[in-house]
Amino acid sequence: MNIQNYINGSFHNPIQNTWLDNYNPSNGAVYGQIPNSSKEDVENAYQAAKAAFPSWSQTTLEERSRILIRISELLESNLQRFADAESKDNGKPISLAKAVDIPRAASNFRFFGNAITQFSSESHESVGQDAINYTLRQPIGVVGCISPWNLPLYLFTWKIAPAIAAGNCVVAKPSEVTPMTAYLLGEICNEAGLPKGVLNIVHGLGGSTGQAIVEHPDIKAISFTGGTATGAHIARVAAPMFKKLSLELGGKNPNIIFADCDYNKMLDTTVRSSFANQGQICLCGSRIFVEASIYDKFKTDFVAKVKALKVGHPSLDSTNIGALVSKPHLEKVMEYIQIAKNENGTVLCGGKQVTISGYENGYYLEPTVIEVPTDDCRVNQEEIFGPVVTLMPFTTERDVLEMANKVKYGLSATLWTNNLNRTMRMTHALQAGIVWVNTWMMRDLRTPFGGVKASGVGREGGFEALRFFTEAKNVCIAYN
Ligand SMILES: NC(=O)C1=CN([C@@H]2O[C@H](COP(=O)(O)OP(=O)(O)OC[C@H]3O[C@@H](n4cnc5c(N)ncnc54)[C@H](O)[C@@H]3O)[C@@H](O)[C@H]2O)C=CC1
Ligand SMILES: O=C(O)/C=C/C=C(\O)C(=O)O
């Protein structure tokens, strides 16, 4: 199936008529083509957004809210269609797309449709100076949203929904690896009555289409989720133009397990935090540190549970681990398994590509657990972003904290303990934007979401996102 750009409320081929192949990771076959959009396509999208802005930015909050909630409802009523499309494009189990990705995309629209009606700004009375200050929160204008392939519609809408709720118009680009559900979203937006030009979706490669969005002098803010190297590049391009930037980048998140935790809950959740979505979530706990007194027991129990995970075709209900997103990505992850071996890591389970009868060219990999001799090896320091976790024992709180923080990333951390004082000490000291205690990936969309260090700058979520997508203007009125 071929897809098109969504510009000014209608669907268009790319101006230069150049196309990219779109692959189905479950069987390695090309199943359609997507626009390889040029600067001119991005310019057209920008012009449509610019033309829509005066009216959209003046549309009442109630009307914006109504349209966003309508989009949410339409996503819900098209759940199966969107879940099937997401799974085919990305390789993830349909069951996961149906339970997580598409419901969350719908929640993003519903959440920001409601949030915008509650968003308010501050006022400050300058007592003794006969003056009052109030702060306007005005939409920025045309903004750019660029999203990755791991949670395609989930993350695409996590940016678009607050951007348009706040009164901006958007030029958005999904990953060229997983463009399908973003394409389908265009139809839903029209059906929901989103005015033409408020959302424009251009497809294409990061280095050309994405770069054209970032370089555009009049696209005033960029919200990006993806790899740290790409984020650094975007920051270099955008900084001289003083664009507002929100960068949600990679992670190498510690999962720290103390002996006093609720063991069974920890074990089940750790399987999930390691391998959900084939380990392709920036929040996955890819470095597992276990207190020495329960290390051997954990190792045995964890490996047994991981071995029981079923790698299979994404359409089967029995599948726990679907296909990785692309051949290059599979190769990258497998290279890391080789690096681990070279670094004297022990592969406790997994490590091999899986061939599924009838889908021999699909990108399947066994969930892999590697026991590492030291925390500073490459597999423990670099983001792999696949179904691979490392395992190491620790003896003291101080040691594990040092290892947890000794990576360039700082996105999330998970802590398993029932000791309140330790929880307080550790949560304060962990270098991360998000810390989960005795849980993982429990999301409340009102909370600030983002990382420190090489995991990015800025926060998404709740009013943080609405603040990002607005400019604060203070007005000071003197009276007497
Ligand atoms: N959520 C996350 O934290 C993600 C992390 N990654 C990490 O990054 C690694 C590389 O994956 P990629 O697919 O290459 O991610 P990427 O960072 O290149 O892609 C993310 C998005 O950025 C766009 N993009 C790429 N170059 C751009 C540029 N110069 N200007 C504007 N937009 C650009 C892409 O087209 C895509 O839409 C992965 O192996 C993984 O380690 C990848 C995807 C998501
Ligand atoms: O739940 C969220 O808001 C985000 C989840 C995951 C990512 O941002 C990611 O994997 O990049």
Of 248, 383, 460, 464, which residue is the catalytic one? Answer: 248
Residue 1: its pLDDT value, please? 82
Rounded distance from Cα 281 to ligand 2 centre (Å): 7
Q: Are residues 184 and 260 in the same domain?
A: no
| Known catalytic membership, residue 382 | no
Ligand nearest to the Cα of 154, by number: 2
Q: Are residues 121 and 160 in the same domain?
A: yes
Q: Are residues 21 and 138 in the same domain?
A: yes
Ligand nearest to the Cα of 277, by number: 2
Which residue, judged by its Cα, is nearest atom 7 of ligand 2? Answer: 282
Q: Are residues 472 and 407 in the same domain?
A: no
Q: Are residues 33 and 95 in the same domain?
A: yes
Q: Are residues 468 and 413 in the same domain?
A: no
**CATH number of the domain bearing residue 291:** 3.40.309.10
Q: Does 450 reside within a domain?
A: no
Q: Give a three-class secondary structure readout of the chain.
A: CCCCEEECCEEECCCCCCEEEEEECCCCEEEEEEECCCHHHHHHHHHHHHHHHHHHHCCCHHHHHHHHHHHHHHHHHCHHHHHHHHHHHHCCCHHHHHHHHHHHHHHHHHHHHHHHHHCCCCEEEECCCCEEEEEEEEECCEEEEECCCCCHHHHHHHHHHHHHHCCCEEEEECCCCCCHHHHHHHHHHHHHCCCCCCEEECCCCHHHHHHHHHHCCCCCEEEEECCHHHHHHHHHHHHHHCCEEEEECCCCCEEEECCCCCHHHHHHHHHHHHHHHHHCCCCCCCEEEEEHHHHHHHHHHHHHHHHCCCECCCCCCCCCECCCCCHHHHHHHHHHHHHHHHCCCEEEECCCEEEECCEEEEEEECCEEEECCCCCCHHHHCCCCCCEEEEEEECCHHHHHHHHHCCCEECEEEEECCCHHHHHHHHHHCCCCEEEECCCCCCCCCCCECCEECCEECCECHHHHHHHCEEEEEEEEECC
Parts of the chain with a pLDDT under 50: none
Q: Are residues 62 and 9 in the same domain?
A: yes
Rounded distance from Cα 241 to ligand 2 centre (Å): 27
Q: Does 449 reside within a domain?
A: no
Q: Are residues 292 and 405 in the same domain?
A: yes
Residue 480: its pLDDT value, please? 85
Residue 134: its pLDDT value, please? 98
Structural domain boundaries, residue 211: 5-249+455-478
Q: Are residues 212 and 322 in the same domain?
A: no
Q: Does 165 reside within a domain?
A: yes
Q: Does 245 reside within a domain?
A: yes
Q: Are residues 264 and 193 in the same domain?
A: no
**CATH number of the domain bearing residue 190:** 3.40.605.10
Rounded distance from Cα 430 to ligand 2 centre (Å): 19
Number of domains in the chain: 2
Q: Are residues 237 and 260 in the same domain?
A: no
Residue 195: its pLDDT value, please? 99
Read off the pLDDT of residues 127-142 as tens digits, 9 standing for 90 and up. 999 999 999 999 999 9
- Residue 224 Cβ inside 6 Å of ligand 2? The answer reads no
Q: Are residues 189 and 284 in the same domain?
A: no
Rounded distance from Cα 293 to ligand 2 centre (Å): 33
Ligand nearest to the Cα of 172, by number: 1
Q: Does 58 reside within a domain?
A: yes
Supply the pTM of this predicted model.
0.98
The number of the ligand 1 atom at minimal distance from the alpha carbon of 233 is 29
